[in-house]
Amino acid sequence: MRIKVKGRDTYVATGGKPFDAKLPTLVFIHGSGLDHRTWALQTRWFAFRGWSVIAPDLPGHSLSKGKPLTSIEAMADWIWQLLDELKVKQASLIGHSQGALVALEAASRQPARARSLSAIATGAAIPVNPQLLETAQNNRPAAVEAMLTWGFGNAYQFGKSHVPGQAPIAVGSRIMASNPLETDLQACQNYTNGEAAAALVTCPSQLILATQDKMTPLRSGLALAEKITASEITKIDAGHMLPIEAPDQCLAELRQFITRLP
Partner 1 sequence: MSKASFFDPATIALHSGYQPESDHGSRAVPIYQTSSYAFQDVAHGAALFNVERGGHIYSRMTNPTVQVLEQRMAALEGGVGCVCTASGMSSLMTTFATLCSAGDHIVSAAQIYGSTATLLKSTLKRFGIETTFVDINDSAAISRAVKKNTKLVFCESIGNPGLDIADIPSLAAICRKKHVPLVVDATFATPALHNPIAHGAHIVVHSLTKWIGGGGNALGGAIIDGGNFDWGLKPEKFPTLNEPYAPFHGISFFEEFGPAALSMRIRAESMRDFGAALSPQNAFLLLQGLESLALRMPKHVENAGEVAQWLLAHDAVAWVNHPSLPSHANHDLVASLFPKGAGSILSFGVKGGRDAGAAFMDALQLATNLANVGDSRTLVLHPASTTHSRLDAKAMKAGGISEDLIRVSVGIESFRDIKNDLANGLRAAQRTQKNADQKDGRKTQQKTEQTRKQTATAKPVKKKAATKKATARKTAGKTAAGK
Q: Which of 119, 148, 99 is nearest to 210 (CA)?
A: 119
Q: Which CB sits closer to partner 1, 149 or 229?
A: 149
CA angle 207, 17, 120 (to 5 degrees): 10
Q: Which CB sits closer to partner 1, 139 or 149?
A: 149
Q: Which CB sits closer to partner 1, 204 or 247?
A: 247
Task: Tell me how far, at minimum, the Cβ of 36 lies from partner 1, in Å.
Answer: 8
Task: Tell me how far, at minimum, the Cβ of 104 lies from partner 1, in Å.
Answer: 27
Task: Tell me how far, at minimum, the Cβ of 108 lies from partner 1, in Å.
Answer: 31
Q: How far is the C-alpha of 250 from the C-alpha of 235, rounded, in Å?
A: 10
Other Cβ atoms within 10 Å of 219 Cβ, number: 11
* Helix 130-138, helix 181-190: angle, nearest 10: 150
Bridge partners of residue 94, in order along the sequence: 28, 118
Residue from 21, 142, 170, 261 binding partner 1 (CB under 8 A): 170
94 counts as binding partner 1 under rule CB under 8 A: no
Q: Which of 124, 59, 51 is nearest to 92 (CA)?
A: 51
218 counts as binding partner 1 under rule CB under 8 A: no
Interface with partner 1 by CB under 8 A: which range of 19-27, 157-165, 189-197, 203-211? 157-165
Applying the rule CB under 8 A, the residues between 240 and 259 that interact with partner 1 are 247-248, 251
Applying the rule CB under 8 A, the residues between 132 and 151 that interact with partner 1 are 145, 148-149
3 counts as binding partner 1 under rule CB under 8 A: no
Q: Which CB sits closer to partner 1, 13 or 119?
A: 13
Task: Tell me how far, at minimum, the Cβ of 163 lies from partner 1, in Å.
Answer: 4
Q: How many residues bind partner 1 (CB under 8 A)?
A: 38
Residue from 129, 138, 157, 229 binding partner 1 (CB under 8 A): 157
Contact 116, 259 (CB under 8 A): no
Q: Which CB sits closer to partner 1, 54 or 101?
A: 54
Q: Is 56 helix (H, G, I), strand (E, B) or coil?
A: strand
**For residue 89, how far is the Cα from the chain centroid?**
20
8 counts as binding partner 1 under rule CB under 8 A: no
65 counts as binding partner 1 under rule CB under 8 A: no
Q: Is 229 helix (H, G, I), strand (E, B) or coil?
A: coil
Residue from 6, 21, 129, 167 binding partner 1 (CB under 8 A): 167
Q: Which of 89, 114, 150 is nearest to 29 (CA)?
A: 114
**How far, CA to CA in Å, does 43 sit from each of 14, 15, 209, 224?**
7, 5, 19, 25
**How far, CA to CA in Å, does 52 sit from each of 80, 165, 166?**
16, 30, 28
Q: What are the phi and psi torsion angles at 159 (to 5°)?
A: 85, 15
Instruction: List interacting residues with partner 1 (CB under 8 A).
Output: 11, 13, 16-17, 35, 37, 40-41, 44-45, 48, 62-63, 145, 148-149, 155, 157-167, 169-171, 173-175, 177, 247-248, 251
